[in-house]
Structure 1
Amino acid sequence: MDDSSREGNMADVSTMGVRERASEQQRARVVPALTLVSHAMAHRVGERLLLEPLVLGREVALSRNLPDFQRPGTSLGLPLADPFLSRKPLVFSPASEEGLRLNPGEGSTVSIAGMPLSGPWEFTREEVAAGIPLELAGRVVVLLHLADLSLAEMGDTLGMVGVGAGVQRVRRHIEQVADLNVPVLVRGETGSGKELIARAIHQRSKRRDKAFISVNLGAIPKELAAAELFGAHKGAYTGSTRDREGFFRAAHEGTLFLDEVGEAPPEVQVMLLRVLETGEIYPVGAHTPVLTDVRLIAATDAQLEDRIQDGRFKAPLLHRLSGYDLRVPPLRERREDIGLLFHHFAREVLEELGETWRLKPEDPSAEPWLPASLASQLVRYAWPGNIRQLRNLSRQLIIGSRGHPRLRLDPRLEQDLEAETMVRPGRPAVLSPMPTPEPKTPARRKASDVAEGELLSALRACAWDLKATADRLGIPRSSIYDLIDKSPHLRTAGDLSVEELTRCYRECGGDLEAMARRLEVSKRALGRRIKELGLGAQDA
């Protein structure tokens, strides 16, 4: 073998090593973690222990005295320190196929869903991703889950409670779009906090000193919706005895939040499209347009794409509304935040009752105010009503437990919680990830019918996943590449310079999803380009 061949083989080996290390670094950003859900010292709820050694093939021992749990974003921490927990540790260790193994040994009793573990137990990565509440000695509850280390804790919580990956991503999206003047479409299930997101965007926008007007289109009679939104002249319709300003003019130079935008009547959809395109509104009964300057944030819990297929929603309006598409995760995808949210709502109710002392115990050996079995039930519940349902249930629990030293479930509430508990048949201990419904594929159409704006909107909504974008638009995947090539405003990962890629990689901390959003290229192609350049090794 000549020197050139030998050097070539060594280069190939080196490149393979770089790619493998880059892949390992990316995987290491998501690690198993334990988050406190219930503890005798209620102020400690939300503290976390990262099980990073498991990713490196090492064990983690957990006992009363070690290791320390920390609040995300801080450097100081404390051990569990419950005097009823054993000093003998229970041990977490790596298992096959990226799962993990829990061995209680002679340490504290570990129960899941009220069932004690009689010996070692293995959890798959999917089970850990869904979240597993572990009851320790019948007193402390920790949630075993996955934590994303690439999502650094922000100093400003933006008025939102929680430290999990889902709420951190939402905060990042708000920071990215708040100071721009583009319309935002907030998607999420009912009760997931969409109006809170809209208010956070407004408060961090250039319009923060102007009005924020919130309107629920689903609560306005359809025959009055146009007049309520755009105003009306006196006598324009039966019962109109005076001029009506309308919400758009009331929000002039500020922000208008339209909740349940999917419920807008067809004539209102046409008027919304016009104001988004021209900034002009026509009050009902008027013949002269009125200019208005409003930042529009819309929200929906409906699949607007399905409504477009059914003829109930106009496709051009969806494209205009989704200048930036933001998804709010349901509560079942934020299980590490359930303890924090429950105690947040509990504090509000206890302040009304004058009993906030219940959340400030000084004796670590006292019985926890939130019993371990109840805390575990809260985490295992499916929460179809999301945060709104959790707030209502916390109020019901606390008021119903007045005069008692601890919270207790009445039979009706207990039956409700058990009815929607997420468990895997045959695995009584473990939560089952909620199935994600498959999106409906639109009817096939010609690629030439897809405008550049519609293509860009679909790419952003699908996080630059080209297959998902093709399905969303109802065209072959190969046509997506043709459309991108023909557009003077779109590019591929291959068009990016090494300098731009390197700079973006460092600024995003190697987060591939964040890079794809910023550079607006295919995430898969971007990943291949990063591996080819060995950026992970250079950055390290």
Structure 2
Amino acid sequence: MKKVWVIDDDQAIRWVLDKALQKADVQARCFERVDDLLLALQTERPNVLLTDIRMPDMSGLELLQRVKQQYPDLNVIVMTAFTDLDSTVSAFQGGAFDYLVKPFDINEALALIARAVEQGGQHPADVDANAPIVESDSVDKMMSKSSSRSMQDIFRAIGRLAPSKVTVLITGESGTGKELIARALHKHGVRAHKPFVALNAAAIPKDLLEAELFGHERGAFTGASHLRRGRFEEANGGTLFLDEIGDMPLDLQTRLLRVLAEGSFYRIGGTQPVNVDVRIIAATHQPLETRVAQGSFREDLFHRLNVIRLRVPPLRERKEDIPPLVKHFLRLAAASLGVSAKRLSPQAMRVLQDFDFPGNVRQLENFCHWLTVMSPANVIEQSDLPPELLNGLVFDSSTGHASGYAVQAEPFSEACMPSPEVAAHPLVDKANTMTASLPEQAAANWQQLLEKEVQAQLAQDASDIMDKLTAEFEKIALSTTLAYCHGHRTEAATRLGIGRNTITRKLKALGLDDD
């Protein structure tokens, strides 16, 4: 029988994991103190060890380092409620198999444990346990304000990719923070003490871009009065970040491909090859596959760059990150102006979370600077928000507050339909019909429909009315919210005001779980 050990000073976590592991036919053993665990490891060895990251007698990262030194083949999973980038990367650099974010879904935890047991000492990535752990800086602090599941996947990728020199292609819309990802990959890797050099291919004229990349010899062309080293030489031993790589001219793409293949190049006007050791991280907001099909981007270069691809999600897909990012940007803006930090009222924060932010995180940061300068009070109210946020809001006359953004009229399509399990429900059909005809009375209509339904049930001498209607209500609320959140359970839980584990449990009970 496989053995899994758990160490956590939280008795509730130990109890839940112990019961779940036993139910999965896994021999579990739980510890509250690090000393007891280390003593037990002297005589016995589990297949997998789960450790909390913050404990009173020793941190989980310290324990991880000690365990990996003495028992390198033991797979360790780190559990943490503090999902900052620095801890995530430190866990992977210390040799962790993976990490669990609290509160976690017990089924996902069991699946991760099973994978760790199966791999038996083989790590998902070749991580150098002796790689330097870089202290968190302003880049990490901003990124660590992101707690959405999609950004946690990015954090995992940084932890696994940082120690290597593999080429990374970062894709995502403008303003999502692609350069921050690139800087984090550099700062948490073995090249952290070497240069990080960034170049935006779209911001430099085509005639100057070649000299910027490769440099030139003295006298190579008119005005070249001295030798100049290009960005490749400046980044030697470190990282070269090529932003907006999709805008690079075709002739330069050919030269770049040769450098990537051979590790050497010639300066403009030069006759001697220049050898460099540079890690390439590229980024683009354009679909490179489309550019390849159009003939404006070399297919062989695309495959050279597309070794590992990281997609940075737009802010509208991770709206749970907006409140912590707002607090962070308001503090930064206040510090730069030498004033006290402002905060948003709940109504103002709701407006921000309902906005789609086409400019993504950069636009949110600009809004926070605007609010710090323009808002008259320390507590920012809904009326203090920028015009771009207030235009298009629908106001509820009964409360005087905005209830969301008006939906633009579009041709009817399947995308406008509710999810099948929601649309099939008779109460939803009635409510949709009533709301479409009398939107200003929508709040009252569903209550009237509920009253009529209860009366009908009573007239039919039905029993367990409360249980039946509660189940129907929960089914509609859960499926509608999950459809709105594109299936992201963490975001749906935040919207509904319940725990993610509660959603998982109710979906199973209601027969809506497709997992």
1:147–1:165 contact (8 Å) kept in structure 2: no
Task: Give the 3-state SS of the residue equivalent to 2:283 in structure 1.
Answer: strand
Deviation per residue, 1:410-454 (Å, 9 max, x gap): 56234457499485797889888599xxxxxxxxxxxxxxxxxxx
- Per the alignment, in what secondary structure is the counterpart of residue 283 of structure 1? coil
Pair 263,246 (structure 1): closer, same or farther in 2 beyond 3 Å: same
Counterpart position of 1:270: 254
Find the counterpart in structure 2 of residue 289 from structure 1: 273
Indicate the residue corresponding to 1:389 in structure 2: 363
Q: Determine whether 1:375 maps to 2:349.
A: yes
Q: Which residue of 1 aligns with 2:169?
A: 185
- Which deviations, in whole Å up to 9, do the C-alpha atoms of 1:113-159 show, x marking residues without a partner? xxxxxxxxxxxxxxxxxxxxxxxxxxxxxxxxx9877599xx99844
- RMSD value, Cα: 3.6
State the Cα distance separating 1:406 from its structure 2 match: 3.2
Superposition pairs for residues 12-411 of structure 1, below 5 Å? 73=81, 150=108, 158-159=140-141, 160=143, 161-356=145-340, 358=342, 369-403=343-377, 405-407=379-381, 408-409=383-384
SS of equivalent residue, structure 2 residue 352: helix
**Cα offset for 1:178?**
1.0
> SS where residue 219 of structure 1 aligns?
coil
Match of 1:413 in 2: 388
Are the equivalent residues in 1 in contact too, given 2:166–2:308 (CA < 8 A)?
Answer: yes
Question: Number of matched residues?
Answer: 288
Deviation at residue 164 of structure 1 after TM alignment: 1.1
Cα offsets for 1:194-219 (capped at 9, x unmatched): 01000110011111100001111111
CA contact (8 A) 2:352 2:389 kept: no
Question: Larger deviation: 390-399 or 238-247?
Answer: 238-247
Deviation at 1:404, TM superposition (A): 5.7
Counterpart amino acid of residue 380 in structure 1: D
| Residue type of the alignment partner of 1:383 | F
Higher relative contact order (CA 8 A, sep 6+): 1
The answer to whether the Cα contact below 8 Å between 1:231 and 1:284 also exists between their aligned partners in 2 is: yes
Amino acid at match of 2:81: G
Output the CA distance in 2 between the equivalents of 1:201 and 1:168: 14
Q: Is the 8 A contact 1:234 1:242 kept in 2?
A: yes
SS at match of 1:252: coil
Shift of 1:373: 2.0
SS at match of 2:380: coil
CA distance in 2, matches of 1:244, 1:410: 49
SS at match of 1:272: helix
1:236 deviation in Å?
Answer: 2.0
Displacement of 1:241: 2.4
CA contact (8 A) 1:378 1:417 kept: no
Structure 2 distance, partners of 1:410, 1:182, is: 44
8 Å contact from structure 1 (residues 342, 394) kept in 2: yes
Report deviation, 1:235: 2.6
Gap change, CA 1:332 and 1:338, over 3 Å in 2: same
Structure 2: gaps of 5 or more residues: 1-22, 25-79, 84-102, 113-133, 395-403, 408-415, 418-431, 444-479, 487-514
- Label 1:357 to 1:279 Cα distance change in 2 as closer, same or farther (>3 A): closer
Identity of aligned residues (%): 40
CA distance in structure 2 between the aligned counterparts of 1:344 and 1:404, rounded to whole angstroms: 15
With over 3 angstroms needed to count, the CA separation of the structure-2 counterparts of 1:341 and 1:324, relative to structure 1, is: same
Tell me the distance in 2 between the aligned counterparts of 1:357 and 1:396. 13
How many angstroms apart in 1 are the aligned matches of 2:82 and 2:168?
33
Secondary structure at the aligned position of 2:271 is classed as: coil
Counterparts of 1:458-537 in structure 2, within 5 Å, are none
Q: How far apart, in 2, do the equivalents of 1:287 and 1:433 lie?
A: 61
Q: How many angstroms apart in 2 are the aligned matches of 1:416 and 1:304?
A: 35
TM-score w.r.t. length of structure 1: 0.48
Find the aligned partners of 2:81 and 2:312 in 1 and give their Cα distance: 22
In 1, the alpha carbon distance for the partners of 2:179 and 2:341 equals 31
Tell me which residue corresponds to 2:45: none
Structure 2 residue matching 1:218: 3-state secondary structure? coil
- Kindly tell me: are residues 330 and 266 of structure 1, through their superposed partners in 2, closer, same or farther at Cα, counting changes over 3 Å? same
Query: Aligned partner of 1:412: which letter?
Result: P
Asked whether the 8 Å contact 2:367–2:386 carries over to 1, the reply is no
Report if aligned partners of 1:381, 1:422 keep a CA contact under 8 Å in 2: no
Q: Give the letter for the 1:327 counterpart.
A: R
CA distance in 1, matches of 2:291, 2:234: 29
Separation in 2, partners of 1:288, 1:422: 63
* DSSP-derived class of the 1:356 partner: coil
For residues 186 and 74 of structure 1, the distance between their equivalents in structure 2, rounded to whole angstroms, comes to 25
- One-letter identity of the residue aligned with 1:73: A
The alpha-carbon deviation at position 318 of structure 1 amounts to 0.8
CA-CA distance at 1:243 after TM superposition:
1.6
Stretch of structure 1 that moved more, 374-383 or 232-241: 232-241
**Conserved? CA contact 2:348–2:385, under 8 Å:** no
Whether the 8 Å CA contact 1:255–1:296 is kept in 2: the answer is yes
Return closer, same or farther for 1:290/1:163 CA change in 2, 3 Å cut-off: same
Q: Within 2, Cα distance between the matches of 1:194 and 1:235? A: 37
Cα-to-partner distance string for 1:281-334 (whole Å, 9 max, x where unaligned): 111112322111101100000001100111100011011112211111111111
TM-score (norm 2): 0.50
Distance in 2, Cα, partners of 1:168 & 1:263: 29
Q: 1:422 to 1:172 in 2, by over 3 A?
A: farther
CA distance in 2, matches of 1:298, 1:229: 14
Could you tell me which runs of 5 or more consecutive residues in structure 1 were left unpaired when the two chains were aligned.
Answer: 1-20, 23-71, 76-145, 359-368, 436-535
8 Å contact from structure 2 (residues 344, 379) kept in 1: no
Q: Which has the higher helix share?
A: 2
